Structure formats: C-alpha cells, structure tokens
Amino acid sequence: MIPIEYLTKPTVTSDQREAMSVDSAPNWMTPIYDYLAQGTSPPDVEASHQLQNQAGWYIIINKHLYKRVFSLPYLQCITPKEAFNIQDHGCQGHSPRLLLAFLKD
C-alpha cells in the first residue's frame, strides 16, 4: 500500500522556482535538423547536395535527432555540451571514454 498525502497549499513558493536554460547554440546537428524539419538547405549547390546525402542517415523522432545505422538501434545525437557531461560523469561500471565511441561522425 502506498501512503498518499493531500496537500492544502503548494510546497514550492514562487521565489524557489528555477528555469532550465536550453542550449540553442548552432552545432554540427543544426543544418541536418533544419533540413529534415523545415527543408532548408545551404545556397551553395555542392553543400546542399552533400547535406541531402548526409541527411539520409538521420531521422527526427519527438524533436530529437537520431542517426540510423544498419545493425544497431537508432543512436540519439547529442550536443557537444551533453557529450562533455557524459564524459565527465559517465555511469558507474563503465569507462566514460567508451561511452563516446559512437559520438564521432
């Protein structure tokens, strides 16, 4: 049995609320995501053709960019900031450096 407590007033006051900042700096994923989501491509014909070929390996699911691979499930693409967080913290029992094996494109 799970105990349930009914609250008569909020436990968080308005001065305790925090906002999470979203990193929106352009990175290597930005042109691919923009091409798949909105169809925008660079004005240069050669760069546009290269982007179209590269974008075929990616898919957007729930506003997240994933890379398609043959023998593995989709790999979620992460920002450089997220990669450094994984590298610094890692997970227990695994070498943090090994987690970044699929991050190099």
Residue 105: band (very low, low, confident or very high) from pLDDT cuts 50, 70, 90: very low
- Tell me the two tokens of residue 48: 């546009």
Phi, psi of 96 (to 5 degrees): -60, -30
Within a domain: 13: no
Within a domain: 4: no
Tens-place pLDDT, residues 73-90: 888 888 888 877 776 665
User: What was the pLDDT predicted at 49?
Assistant: 94
User: What was the pLDDT predicted at 20?
Assistant: 47
Within a domain: 44: yes
User: What was the pLDDT predicted at 26?
Assistant: 84
Within a domain: 32: yes
Within a domain: 104: no
Calculate Rg over the CA atoms of the chain. 20
Total of domains in the chain: 1
Tens-place pLDDT, residues 25-60: 788 888 999 999 999 888 899 999 999 999 999 999
Please give the Cα distance from 39 to 52 (Å, whole number): 10
* 40 vs 15, higher pLDDT: 40
Are the CB atoms for 80 and 87 separated by under 8 Å?
A: no
Domain, as residue range, for 49: 27-99
Within a domain: 84: yes
Instruction: Calculate the CA 7 to chain-centre distance.
Output: 36
Within a domain: 19: no
Please give the Cα distance from 68 to 53 (Å, whole number): 13
Within a domain: 82: yes
pTM reported for the whole predicted model: 0.60
